[in-house]
Amino acid sequence: MTQPERLPDFPTGGCAVVIGGSGGIGRAIAVQLAERGCDVALNYFSGPGRAEETASLVRGAGREVHVAKVDLRDEPMVKEFVDDASEHFGGVHTAIYAAGPYIPMRFIGQQPAAAFREVMEHDTFGCFHLIQAALPHLRASKGSFTAIVTPAIRRYAVRDILSAAPKAAIEQLVKGLAAEEGRFGVRANAVGVGVITDGLYHALVESGDFDQRFLDASRQAMALKRLGTADEVAEGVVFLASSRARWITGQTLMVDGGYAL
């Protein structure tokens, strides 16, 4: 029996755009994409030094990298970044949304409305801007879009509304995108990230929002009884973005140690 021809995981031309490339999860994704042969365009918002560290890891994996400041709230700026990346690398085959602001954990009754509005602006509208900017390029390349969300959209964790609410809207955007754009060959999926010891974790420990009691309870609530890492999250993201997942669209994969079961 002849074996079916194996597609490369990612096209050889064009690039992967990683929004949140200066962050903990975005960095792990950018590096794994580079290790699998992708050139990468990544952004920062307030951390040019962190973006440069990611860029040097991408170069270390033998790939080219383009870095720019992008504020996701600024629709034209997002579009310019994605268009520039496409022009520079000759197309965009992969768009990853792995950004989001710091989110103080409070009960809904104690969250100021301004904090709720701000997180929706950065996170949900930010993701919406990226989708609109990336879509023409993804149609041209029959590419994929993958967004980070949270398992709290399945199993709510108290005080986590600033994560759960924008990510629930993002999951719906992803499903809509999958349903509407599949006929153009574009796929869209999401990855729900449980508590990991990278990225936002450090600021949440420093602020006291992640105290020992919270971390012990989180571990206990997970089937695998341990916190995860950004690298483990990136494995799921890169799989969904790659041609190995070419018949998977509109799905949310929980990479959460079994929290949302």
- Residue 255 binds ligand NAP (CB under 6 A): no
Q: Which stretch binds ligand NAP (CB under 6 A): 6-14, 24-32, 178-186, 234-242?
A: 24-32
Exposed (0-12), middle (13-18) or buried (19+): which is 3, by Cβ within 10 Å? exposed
- Residue 72 binds ligand NAP (CB under 6 A): yes
Neighbours of 253 (CB within 10 A): 18
Name the strand (E) or helix (H) holding 256: none
CB of 148 closer than 8 Å to CB of 98 = yes
Least distance to ligand NAP, CB of residue 177, Å? 18
Of the two residues 69 and 175, which places its CB atom closer to ligand NAP in the complex?
Answer: 69
Amino acid, res. 228: G
DSSP symbols for 64-125: -EEEEE--TT-HHHHHHHHHHHHHHHT-EEEEEE--------B-GGGS-HHHHHHHIIIIIH
> Which x/- pattern over 124-163 shows residues binding ligand NAP (rule: CB under 6 A)?
--x---------------------x-x------------x
The single residue among 11, 14, 20, 143 that binds ligand NAP, judged by CB under 6 A, is: 20
Least distance to ligand NAP, CB of residue 228, Å? 8
- Residue 17 binds ligand NAP (CB under 6 A): no
Q: Which stretch binds ligand NAP (CB under 6 A): 31-39, 65-73, 138-146, 240-248?
A: 65-73
Of the two residues 11 and 204, which places its CB atom closer to ligand NAP in the complex?
Answer: 204
Of the two residues 138 and 254, which places its CB atom closer to ligand NAP in the complex?
Answer: 254
Number of residues that bind ligand NAP (CB under 6 A): 32
For 145-229, where are the alpha helices, taking DSSP H only?
161-181, 201-207, 212-221
Spell out the residues 6+ positions from residue 52 whose beta carbon is closer than 8 angstroms to its own. 67
The single residue among 11, 100, 143, 257 that binds ligand NAP, judged by CB under 6 A, is: 100
Spell out the residues 6+ positions from residue 226 whose beta carbon is closer than 8 angstroms to its own. 219, 257
Least distance to ligand NAP, CB of residue 24, Å? 4
What is the separation of C-alpha 246 from the centre of its chain, rounded to a whole number of angstroms? 18
Contacts (CB under 6 A) with ligand NAP, residues 181-200: 193, 195-196, 199-200
The single residue among 31, 38, 65, 70 that binds ligand NAP, judged by CB under 6 A, is: 70
Residue 63 CA to residue 158 CA, distance in Å, equals 42
Residue 153 CA to residue 207 CA, distance in Å, equals 24
Of the two residues 64 and 71, which places its CB atom closer to ligand NAP in the complex?
Answer: 71
- Rule CB under 6 A: which residues touch ligand NAP? 20, 22-26, 43-47, 50, 70-73, 98-101, 122-123, 126, 148, 150, 163, 193, 195-196, 199-201
